[in-house]
Structure 1
Amino acid sequence: MNRKPIIGITGAYVNHNFHMEGVYVHHDYHNTVAANGGLPIILPYIDPQLAIESVALCDGIILSGGEDVDPQFYQQDPHPNIGQTIPERDLSEIALVHYALEHNIPLLAICRGVQILNVALGGTLIQDIPTQCEAPIKHSQTIQRNKDSHFVKVSLDSKLYQMLGHTTVRVNSLHHQAIDRLAPTLKQTAVSSDGIIEAVEYIHDSHFTVGVQWHPESMAKSNSMMNRLFETFIQSCIISDKTNIKSYKVF
């Protein structure tokens, strides 16, 4: 019997109290992975080399949401409205991105995930949409995270369109940062009405590297379009050679 593909999900950070703190992943991620035939595991951030060793054990990677990306990694100073940053997580995920792309490990980047993907490949971020963008729509919704709150336009020539089957879709939205300058090896595949980049893909078609700014894991249970993102991603997570673990020079 074929084993289930192992899907590594990068962890954020939570502090419940003085005695309870550590790596955190919203249950919608692992529930949706499991519902689509994957075996979810949580990847803690420790250091870049251990991040590479952990991803080498996985058949696919989800870059999850969470804290803001430290602007030092795209050569900027912090905006006054920047939130919590964890440089250790950023460094681990930057190394993870490069390893996954070099070894053709499928990658699904979600919310913060699409931002760190862009930074890892040489792009920059809008640090605070409400104060740095002209006439922005509301990107940080106050309704339940499984509810949609705005439209995005999807490019016809994209993997995203092949999965969703529509050029206009409704998405949820839980972010105040977004992609600014797009990395040269990524292409824009969806945009909101105020011009915010809502989805990207790696320019090499042989790779499954898709990033979305919304949270499809929280919509997937009741939205078949969003579930197809996970269904297609997990189907792409075939077993490959993961024995060549290398060290990477990081920041």
Structure 2
Amino acid sequence: MAPVIGISGSVLLDPLFSPVIIKRSYVNEQYIDAITAAGGIPLIIPVTDVAAVTAYVSLIDGLVLSGGHDVSPQLYGEETLSRAGESYPARDTFEHALLLETLKHNKPVLGICRGAQLLNVVHGGSLYQDVSYAEHVQLQHLQATAGEEPVHKVTLTPASRIATIFETETIGVNSFHHQLIKTVAPQFVATGVTSDGVVEVIESQARDHFIMGVQWHPEQMAQKNQQMQGLFNAFVAESATYKVIMSLH
């Protein structure tokens, strides 16, 4: 049986079909498409009571932490600055617990955009609350063009997991973020950086575990970009390996 891949959901306040604002749980369909194309079975995990975390993790073989809201500065010991964006504390609390439970069972984790930032923060790293607070930044990190289009390059560390997956040391990526990784958590190493010094990839220093965060949105590029789909292929394959190993115990 194919591996089950949990995708952390977000919450949308939707006023479109009712005079009353309705909260909707969702993930963007491109995550589902990329996981399915890689041979995985996607399972959307909504923001809910942390008591449900153990049950959800028991159902999955790998976890994708999706993009969305800002990670609250309170999680890395800072007060909220004037140009910070909207955070969602209930999501932070739930995903924090979801991530720790997943890691406790050594299941693969892929963090995307916010997900990469959360990976970093949960392990003791920090963020720039807005790109304007990072004086070294020169490139466009919140693009106005379609998500399938790359807007800048990322240089990858030779022999890193991400460089091995992409089979190159330079990759063109899209960019939809206004927060940036500032201090990389001690358990991670930065393996992808832009020409203006923005950390775009972090990987666990434990090379035997697939724990990775990417700052861009590969799911938006995957349908037309074999390298980006290859990232999901590698992640799902790692999750399948975990599934097989667990079945032997």
TMscore range, shorter length:
over 0.9
Question: Which runs of no fewer than 5 residues in structure 2 stay unpaired?
Answer: none
Residue 210 (structure 1) shift: 1.3
**1:74-153 paired onto structure 2 within 5 Å:** 74-153=76-155
Whichever residue aligns with residue 77 of structure 2, its letter is Q
**TM-score (norm. length: structure 1):** 0.92
Q: Match for residue 71 of structure 1?
A: 73
Is the helix fraction higher in 1 or 2?
2
Q: Is the 8 A contact 1:52 1:95 kept in 2?
A: no
Whichever residue aligns with residue 133 of structure 1, its letter is E
- Say if 2:9 is the partner of 1:11: yes
Q: Match for residue 188 of structure 2?
A: 186
Q: Match for residue 232 of structure 1?
A: 234
**1:200-239 paired onto structure 2 within 5 Å:** 200-238=202-240, 239=243
Q: CA RMSD for the aligned pairs? A: 1.4
Q: How many correspondences in the alignment?
A: 240
Taking the aligned partners of 2:95 and 2:233, their CA distance within structure 1 comes to 23
Residue 19 (structure 1) shift: 4.9
Residue 83 (structure 1) shift: 1.2
Whichever residue aligns with residue 27 of structure 1, its letter is E
Specify the SS of the correspondent of 1:234.
helix
Whichever residue aligns with residue 28 of structure 2, its letter is H
**TM-score (norm. length: structure 2):** 0.92
Taking the aligned partners of 1:177 and 1:159, their CA distance within structure 2 comes to 24
Q: Percent identity?
A: 38
Residue 51 (structure 1) shift: 2.4
- From 42, 49, 58, give the equivalent of 1:40: 42
Specify the SS of the correspondent of 1:116.
helix
> 10-19 vs 81-90, which deviates more?
10-19
Whichever residue aligns with residue 11 of structure 2, its letter is Y
Residue 136 (structure 1) shift: 2.6
The C-alpha deviation readout for 1:202-249, integer Å capped at 9, x for no partner, is 11111111110000011111111111100010011132659xxxxxxx
- From 197, 200, 220, give the equivalent of 1:198: 200
- From 17, 22, 25, give the equivalent of 2:24: 22
Taking the aligned partners of 2:189 and 2:104, their CA distance within structure 1 comes to 18
Taking the aligned partners of 1:203 and 1:52, their CA distance within structure 2 comes to 25
Residue 64 (structure 1) shift: 0.2
Q: Is the 8 A contact 1:130 1:136 kept in 2?
A: no
The C-alpha deviation readout for 1:111-131, integer Å capped at 9, x for no partner, is 000000001111111100123
